[in-house]
Amino acid sequence: MIQPIKTHFQTDRKYDPLAAAGNLPDFFKSRMSAEGLYLKGFDSEVKLKFKGNRPDGSHIFEMEVAFEVPGKSFVIYTTPSYHVELEYELISQKDSLLLGKLISPKQTSITRSEDRNSKVYGNVLASNFLIAKTNIDFSKLTGVSSQVILTDIHRNLLKDYPKSKVVFLANTELGEEVQLLKEEKKPIYVINADAMESVSSNEFFDLKTSFEEDFILEDKIAEYKRKKMDSFIMYPIFIRMNDLHFFAYLTMEQEKSPVPYEVYEKYKEVEATFQERIMDSNTHVLDIKQNIFNVSRGGLSIEIRDREIFKALKVKPTMTLDVNFKMQAPLRMAVELKHMEEVKDYFVIGCQIVGLSGDKKAKDIYYSLITFFS
CATH number where 57 lies:
2.40.10
Same domain, 158 and 146: yes
Same domain, 23 and 98: yes
What is the reported pLDDT for 277? 84
Q: Determine, yes or no, domain membership for 96.
A: yes
What is the reported pLDDT for 112? 63
Question: Do β-strands 6-10 and 331-343 pair in parallel, antiparallel, or remain unpaired?
Answer: antiparallel
* 8 A C-beta contact, residue 209 and residue 198: no
Same domain, 184 and 236: yes
Same domain, 311 and 248: no
Q: Determine, yes or no, domain membership for 113.
A: no
Q: Domain limits at 230? A: 138-280
Q: How much of the chain is in helix, strand and coil states, percent to nearest 5?
A: 25, 40, 35
What residue spans of the chain are helical by DSSP H?
24-32, 138-141, 144-157, 176-184, 207-213, 217-226, 261-280, 307-315, 359-372
Same domain, 216 and 188: yes
Same domain, 33 and 79: yes
Same domain, 270 and 144: yes
Same domain, 330 and 251: no
Same domain, 273 and 255: yes
Q: Determine, yes or no, domain membership for 336.
A: yes
What is the reported pLDDT for 353? 94
What is the reported pLDDT for 33? 87
∠ Cα 361 362 366 (to 5°): 120
- Tell me the C-alpha distance between 97 and 80, whole Å: 24
Same domain, 254 and 275: yes
For residue 66, what are the CA distances in angstroms to 2, 110, 223? Answer: 9, 33, 65
Predicted TM-score (pTM) of the model is: 0.67
Q: Determine, yes or no, domain membership for 130.
A: yes
The DSSP 8-state label assigned to residue 112 in this structure reads P
Q: Determine, yes or no, domain membership for 116.
A: no
What is the reported pLDDT for 360? 80
**Domains contained in the chain, number:** 3
DSSP string, 332-348: EEEEEEEEEEEETTEEE
Same domain, 27 and 76: yes
Q: 50-76: string of b/e by CB count within 10 Å (b at 16+)?
A: beeeeeeebbbbebeeebebeeeebeb
Q: Which of 256, 280, 304 is the last residue of a domain?
A: 280
Q: Which of 262, 280, 298 is the last residue of a domain?
A: 280
Q: 190-207: string of b/e by CB count within 10 Å (b at 16+)?
A: bbebeebbbbeeeebbbb
Q: Determine, yes or no, domain membership for 79.
A: yes
Could you list the pLDDT tens digit for every one of the 374 residues in the chain?
888 999 999 888 888 899 888 899 999 999 898 889 999 999 888 999 999 999 999 999 999 999 999 999 999 998 877 789 999 999 999 999 999 999 999 998 776 656 777 778 989 999 999 998 887 776 777 778 889 999 999 999 999 999 999 999 877 778 899 999 999 999 999 999 999 999 988 899 999 999 999 899 999 999 999 999 999 999 999 987 667 789 999 999 999 999 999 999 999 999 989 988 887 778 899 999 999 999 998 899 999 999 999 999 988 889 999 999 988 999 999 999 999 999 989 999 999 999 898 778 888 999 999 988 87
CATH number where 289 lies:
2.40.10.220
CATH number where 147 lies:
3.30.450
Q: Which of 261, 280, 299 is the last residue of a domain?
A: 280
Same domain, 272 and 324: no
Amino acid at 252: M
